[in-house]
């Protein structure tokens, strides 16, 4: 067994609601992207012929490839239906396009999207990515900072929730690989963490994602550090813990976290 030199637990931050700035920024970017798409569409698709050449034909060609190997009669029947649908779509395209971006329904869809984004932010984005506006670090960057022994790590640890159980943070990789380690670990924690939260913390999912996360970290491990694997001498494992509910302190809630342990490799 390798000699344990560092052990810690970091927990994703909990948010009762999404910061106003985060939501406003989403609305602003969504409207800007939609307006850009609308203007681009008007420049590219001006006539029915444009629709046929730039939308209908490419989609038909893709379908033909997909249907390759189907019985000829089945393939022919599907293609007839698709062409009829495309003719109808060509007639409605310009009216529907304007309705999409200029009707009251567009404003309603933005408002509905805003509510969905707020819910998603509280459940996934805030805990995993954090908030630049409120300067709260998400689980992704906390994990990356811990593995790279970031000098500012302790500034962002949450009192009575995040814990350094043993030793001081140790950078697990070589100097020239620190940047890649941090970026790739942060992104993977966010992606895998989202999957775990989405499955309501299923043990099988956590076990599977721990394998994937440790495999990535192992690629950056310095020779003097013990190999990374779930539950091993060195590991970075997703864990689920109970923390006080900030909205109702008497209640406990589940929150995703990381258990990180770094050991030195055994000397032969």
Give the rounded percent of residues in the chain with a pLDDT score beyond 70: 98
Q: What is the mean pLDDT of residues 8-36?
A: 90
DSSP for the chain, please give it.
Answer: -PEEEEEEEEE----SS--HHHHHHHHHHHHHHHHHHHHHHHHH--SHHHHIIIIIHHHHHHHHHHTTTS-HHHHHHHHHHHHHHHHHHHHHHHHHHHHHHHSHHHHHHHHHHHHHHHHHIIIIIHHHHEETTTTEE-HHHHHHHHHTT-TTGGGGPPTTTSEEEEE-----S-GGGHHHHHHHHHHHHHHHHHHHHHTTS-HHHHHHHHHHHHHHHHTT--TTBPPB-TTSSBEEEEEEEEEE-SSSTTSEEEEEEEEEEEEEPPP-
What would the pLDDT profile of 205-253 be if each residue is shown by its tens digit?
Answer: 999 999 999 999 999 999 999 999 999 999 999 999 998 887 787 888 8
Q: Are 230 and 205 in contact (CB under 8 A)?
A: no
More confident residue, 266 or 157: 157
Query: Average model confidence (pLDDT) for the chain?
Result: 88
pTM as predicted: 0.78
pLDDT at 51 > cutoff 50: yes
What would the pLDDT profile of 67-88 be if each residue is shown by its tens digit?
Answer: 777 778 877 887 778 777 877 7
């Amino acid at each position: 067994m390798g000699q344990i030199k560092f052990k810690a637990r970091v927990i994703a931050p909990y948010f009762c609601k999404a910061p106003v700035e985060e939501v406003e920024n989403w609305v602003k970017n969504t409207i800007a992207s939609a307006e850009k798409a609308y203007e681009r569409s008007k420049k590219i698709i001006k006539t029915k012929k444009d629709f046929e050449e730039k939308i209908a034909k490419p989609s038909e060609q893709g379908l033909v490839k997909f249907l390759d190997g189907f019985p000829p009669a089945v393939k022919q029947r599907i293609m007839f239906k698709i062409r009829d649908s495309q003719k109808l779509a060509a007639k409605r395209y310009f009216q529907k396009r304007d309705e999409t971006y200029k009707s009251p329904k567009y404003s309603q869809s933005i408002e509905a999207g805003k509510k969905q984004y707020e819910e998603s932010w509280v459940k996934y984005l805030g805990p995993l990515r954090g908030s630049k506006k409120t300067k709260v670090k998400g689980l992704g960057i906390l994990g990356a900072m811990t593995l790279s022994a970031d000098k500012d790590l302790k500034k962002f640890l949450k009192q009575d929730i995040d814990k350094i159980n043993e030793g001081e943070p140790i950078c697990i990789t070589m100097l020239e690989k620190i940047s890649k380690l941090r970026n790739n670990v942060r992104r993977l924690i966010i992606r895998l963490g989202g999957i775990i939260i989405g499955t309501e913390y299923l043990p099988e999912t956590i076990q599977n994602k721990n394998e994937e996360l440790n495999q990535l970290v192992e690629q950056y491990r310095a020779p003097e550090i013990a190999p990374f694997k779930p539950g091993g001498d060195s590991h970075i494992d997703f864990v689920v813990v109970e923390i006080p509910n900030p909205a109702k302190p008497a209640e406990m809630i589940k929150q995703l976290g990381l258990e990180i342990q770094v050991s030195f490799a055994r000397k032969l």
